[in-house]
Chains A and B, each alone.
Chain A
Amino acid sequence: MFVSDEDLMMRCRKGDIGAFELLVRRYQNPLINYIHRSINDYHRAEDISQETFLRVFKSASRYEPTASFRSWLYTIATNLCRNEIRNRSRRNTYFFEDLVEEGEDVYHTEIMRDTRYLPDVLLEKKEQRQMIRKALAQLPENQRVALTLVTYQDLRYEEVAGILGCSVGAVKALIHRARQKMKKLLIKAGIGEERVDEKI
């Protein structure tokens, strides 16, 4: 039987830690991936995800089922990511410029180290991931957040508007501009039409 996030949260409000564990199981993967795409550092992404879950747990007593749990979770995560990026820029460490290998996930690098002959598919996936991460990192912050939430987290425009604190129309514009810019960046990275044209 499927129990909704909101019901689990209400059980958690009554002190049911098992219900909270279910929520963590449900959201750990998408949340870490979302944060990883936003800040491009896997280990920090784990820390921030943990912090997000803890904040949710601490404020469970004040949770009202009127708000969607998912939107609430991503709002907390987005704010923490913003803080992280702000702190980094204060420390003058701009991560998004040099992320080719730095941000690569632990598991795939493990596989790379151990396997002598990699299947083409795996290599292709790894290249794609790197290029996409690089391109995403070059988007303006709000465009990146909106596009990531819609593409990978399957959030509705309305939910994204709630998280970013803007109108649905503004989200529509952000998504469209982000997609257009992504297309250009991917072409520039050598996966687009221009490269095909060059070959021709």
Chain B
Amino acid sequence: MRKYRQTKSPDICSSECEVLLATPDELSAYIDKELPAWKRHLIGWHLKKCKICADRVQRLQQTDGFLRHAGGVEVSDDFLSGVMARVSEVAQHQRQHNALRSRVARFIETSFGWTRSLSILMGSLRYNIRTRSPVYIFVLTFAVFTMVGVTLYPPSGDRLAQKSHELELNAEKLISFEVIQPEPPKRLLTTYLQAK
């Protein structure tokens, strides 16, 4: 098993280190190559001179290397197929959902189309019919009177029934007229005399 290098831990840092490294976090950023180039070069130069900082960096690198080389788990073979099976289920569901949505959208579009054409028609009518034209006034008055009349004197059911009964009677009369046997024709005077 790999062991950490045996070194004495430095407690006090020189003033140059403090000036160079505003915070000790910079050393971690240095080993992760997360610092700007100028700062990397500066720290690189300092590490060549300063044993304390060089040790710190080495310890951090050891920890990092130890973590990295520990490895991980291998994914099971059926993981991918499991994910893709669920993905195709979701895809199918989405397709159905999209089809329904597009159908509703088409319905709304067509109904909007109807209302649009209707409004265009109404607009042109409004444009064509002059409100002061006598025909327009007559039609309007007739419509209003009919509506008022129908509201005030609604056709009653009894009267209608009576009307229909009368009609039935007439029909019966017609039928009975057809059924009556024709009377034998009266004898003419000449035929009567001849018989005598």
What is A's interface to B at a CB cutoff of 8 Å? 15, 17, 20-21, 24-25, 28-29, 32-33, 36-37, 42, 46, 49-50, 53-54, 57-58, 105-108, 124-125, 127-129, 132, 147, 150-152, 156-157, 169, 172-173, 175-176, 179, 182-183, 186-187, 191-193, 195-197, 200
Contacts and interface: CB of A to CB of B under 8 A. Distances in A.
B67 A182 contact: yes
Contacts of A128: 1, 66, 69-70
Nearest to B95: A15
Given A49-B79, A107-B73, A176-B27, 9 more contacts: A20-B87, A25-B80, A127-B1, A156-B34, A157-B29, A173-B23, A176-B28, A192-B4, A196-B4
B90 A58 contact: yes
B66 A54 contact: no
B159 interface: no
Residues of B contacting A: mostly: helix
B60 interface: yes
Contacts of B70: 125, 128-129, 132
Contacts of A57: 87, 90-91
A124 B1 contact: yes
Contacts of B67: 132, 147, 151-152, 182
B40 interface: no
Interface string B25-51: 111110010100000000000000000
12 contacts: A21-B80, A21-B87, A24-B83, A53-B87, A108-B73, A124-B1, A151-B67, A176-B24, A183-B59, A191-B2, A196-B3, A196-B6
B74 A176 contact: no
Nearest to A130: B70
Interface in B100-157: none
A151 B4 contact: no
A187 B28 contact: no
Contact of A24 (B28, B69, B84, B94): B84
Given A54-B90, A193-B4, A182 B63 contact: yes
Contacts of B29: 157, 172, 175-176
A53 B86 CA distance: 10
Nearest to B35: A172
Given A157-B32, A172-B29, A151 B68 contact: yes
Contacts of B24: 176
Contacts of B7: 193
B82 interface: yes
Contacts of B74: 29, 105, 107
B60 to A, nearest CB: 6
A175 B32 contact: yes
Nearest to A33: B72
A9 to B, nearest CB: 14
B74 to A, nearest CB: 5
B56 to A, nearest CB: 10
B64 interface: yes
Nearest to A34: B72
